[in-house]
């Protein structure tokens, strides 16, 4: 099973000081870091009222996702807040497995 993560992406004060070209360079570098760590971005949604974006990425495992997040944050343009995420089908499967493996009784 792959590892899916939803990440809140906030812009740092350093990002706001960059020119539009430099901001685009940071975006390209971020996408390259995701790819280098075996990840893909399924979707990114911008939430103007919160001045942030939410990205859903899929990685081979949690270590690859964590490594990508560390590398992206080290560049200084973005503050990332990742949380594990599951498709509805994945969640239902995990719930079924958990119920089947649960020990009930004393």
Identify the pLDDT of residue 106.
54
CB 4, CB 86: distance < 8 Å: yes
> Does residue 106 sit within a domain?
no
Label residue 102 by pLDDT band (50, 70, 90): confident
Q: Which domain holds residue 44?
A: 3-101
Domain count, the chain: 1
The model's pLDDT over 40-90, given as tens digits with 9 standing for 90+, comes to: 999 999 999 999 999 999 999 999 999 999 999 999 999 999 999 998 999
Identify the pLDDT of residue 101.
86
Tell me the C-alpha to C-alpha distance, in Å, between residue 28 and each of 6, 25, 34, 64. 19, 5, 10, 19
CATH number at residue 40: 3.30.70.60
> Does residue 40 sit within a domain?
yes
Q: How far apart are the C-alpha atoms of 40 and 17, rounded to whole Å?
A: 28
């Amino acid at each position: 099973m792959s590892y899916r993560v939803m990440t809140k992406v906030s812009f740092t004060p350093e990002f706001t000081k960059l020119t539009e070209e430099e901001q685009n360079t940071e975006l390209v570098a971020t996408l390259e870091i995701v790819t280098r760590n075996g990840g893909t971005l399924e979707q990114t949604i911008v939430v103007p009222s919160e001045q942030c974006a939410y990205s859903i990425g899929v990685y081979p495992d949690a270590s690859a996702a964590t490594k990508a997040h560390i590398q992206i944050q080290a560049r200084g343009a973005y503050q990332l807040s990742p949380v594990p995420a599951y498709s509805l089908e994945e969640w239902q499967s995990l719930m079924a497995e958990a119920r089947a493996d649960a020990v009930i009784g004393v």
